[in-house]
Structure 1
Amino acid sequence: MIRTPRTGRPPALRPVQHHVTHQPLPSDSPLLQPVTAGALRAANRVWLAPLTRNRADADGTPNDLSVEYYRQRAGAGVVITEGSQPSAVGQGYPNTAGVVTDANEAGWTRVADAVHAEGGTLVVQLMHAGRISHTGTIDGATPVSSTATPAQGEIFTTEGPQAHSAPRALATDELPGVAAEFADAARRAIRAGVDGVELHAANGYLLHQFLADGVNDRTDAYGGPAENRARFVVEVAKATADAVGADRVGIRLSPANPYNDITEDDVSVYETLVAQLADLGLAYVHLLAEADDPIVGKLRAVWPGVLVLNTGFAVDSDRDAVGRIVADGVADAVTVGRPFIANPDLVTRWTRGSELNEPDPSTFYGGGAEGYTDYPRLAG
């Protein structure tokens, strides 16, 4: 999710302490234990969170920088990539990766080969932005959504911040085609050698726009009660699972997350949704929520598989705090974002109890190697 453009030249990067150092982790630490999620084999339980970085080529193809960035972070239990559009109209921001064309697919093959050469596991997140887009980013096309109501606020474009373009509501008979786009993108990803895909149904993007009662104003079979609002997400998950195998498909959810102009009072839709996803046998559910949020326990109760938790900034991704999440059985693995940006060898640093590099927010979105592939790693 982009909030501000990259401006100016960033300060020189240097290894500085981000959190206090710790004692080294014992070899039996819960964070260092392997875990299997469907067909995915994770060497540890510290996974790379999906992070929009806006460094792909203009046509959405992962490039040399992308290859190096993900290769550096292959020590994560699972490397989950930036949100990558499954169709041209699904793009939200400039220079996000796509899984749409042969060139995109070839780029992901290079990324997969690099991550696998380092012993890593790679999952591509499929993100259709829906109404969180601008016509200038999608070659003049109109964004699509569950609704015709535009999102409030602005989005970053190549011309600077702009109001979100007004979307059109997808017609009922168009929905199978959109589900097929997710499935086709998943096929491309697996054909490229990627280990799995993650459906982005969080943070206010298209699938979340169907789930959220404050956004979805439909009067067809995909609007109204929780069962209806969950329907499209289930259909997308089933189409994707049928295409590449349910054991290679995860999904990300963020109940009541207000990002991107989401209003959501009825979170019971997530219990309805996850119960149906359990019947499909997906690889994992990736939840963005605070560890003590009651929704975590409710979904844990209806989800028999691997649960991955991202707490956002609730515990600031401190090593010991996220370790307790796994040790206490709140989740089976955790995803970590900003510390992985500045510390490509984060698992090694946490294992040794080493100090961390401080991330430079001015380089988060767009640009080149600075703040992307040039953070220092530990010697030895």
Structure 2
Amino acid sequence: MATLSEPCIGAMNADTPQIGWLLIALTYLATAASMGMVGVAAALTADLGVAMHVARNDVGLALAMFSLPSAIGGVFCGGLVDRAGAKRVIVVSAFICALGAGFAAWGASLSLLMLALAISGVGFTGISVAAPALLVGATTGRRQVRAMSLWSTYAPTGFAMGLLLAAPFAGTGRWQPAFLIYGAIMLVLFAALMALPHVKTAAAPHWKKQLGSFASVFRERDVILLTVAVAVPSALSYGTSLIAPSYLAQVHGTSMGASATTVAAIKGVAMVLCGLMTGALLTRRLNRKLLFAGLAVLGMVSQGVLFWPGSGFALASLGLFGWLVAFSGMGAVAMAQLPVVVASPSRSGAASGLIGQGISVLSFLAPSIYFGMNGWMGFVAIACVGLIVAGLALPIARGRRPILS
């Protein structure tokens, strides 16, 4: 991508070849898998509670530790990407995710589980911040739009991967194998990610200038607005994902394993298909603000159908699918704006880090909010308010619309 008047984040370094869809898919898979740890833990909340002699809600609240590293250091991780390069950060972060899974498998207390989730959260932070910087630095034109649209669906897809992995072990008391399998998957990805190209968003400046870059990102209005537009729906989706399996099982009388499998299957199909479809729509130069607003309305209606006790399991599942379509589309539309709202390519990593940090700050709060709610109307109300805020915040960079090549 490039604009008529100035370079943008999508302009690649001349020494960096444009990566193909195989490496784009690998980058997407690594990001989604880094989110899988929290899906595994969410599916096993009851088993972990019994094993650790704590309430299931205490295990759910411990999931907030996964988001703590991003909430504290997302922007600084973006600076690390700018200095060290996206590939190095992604590869090391994959190993950290595997390390966190090992701690979870061998831990026998809530404090060790919290430590394991925090370690995995460090790995997730690195991958989720570095991956978009790599994609926008190694792709251009329509491929970049479609790659970013696909990548934006990683969180629900990764959560679904974790649910599917843990579902066979839910309710059995044998929860350790799920974490061990997840750790093995991350080690395989650690090796595969060596194939990624070295992409730097800019020449690494002195650390004092890097701190100045952090500060300048906080002064960019459109980056702040984009962070809100991405982070609020992401936190709503995270909260919905945490409670949906147990809520559907309790309200509609299904087993936890069956509910988790259903939720995971719906997520997996909806996220990938909708991400690709939205990417294709975005290349047609539709009104992105209007498209985002329409998806927000769909999300509000779908949340009502999902959580209304009178829906029945089948209709509630349809509501979940509608919500995921809406969330996936909103994420794709918002992330497609990243290349045109960053004022300078040298700040791409810091901007990506700010977005990741915004997501993590709100996601850190989501477990306490959602597990503390009683009644379906509260879930729907918070979703409606949040989606309205996100729709109003989405920035459209007039006069800097990229040319698709």
Query: TM-score, normalised to structure 1's length?
Result: 0.25
- The structure with more helix, counted as a fraction of residues: 2
Query: TM-score, normalised to structure 2's length?
Result: 0.24
Higher RCO (CA 8 Å, separation ≥ 6 residues): 2
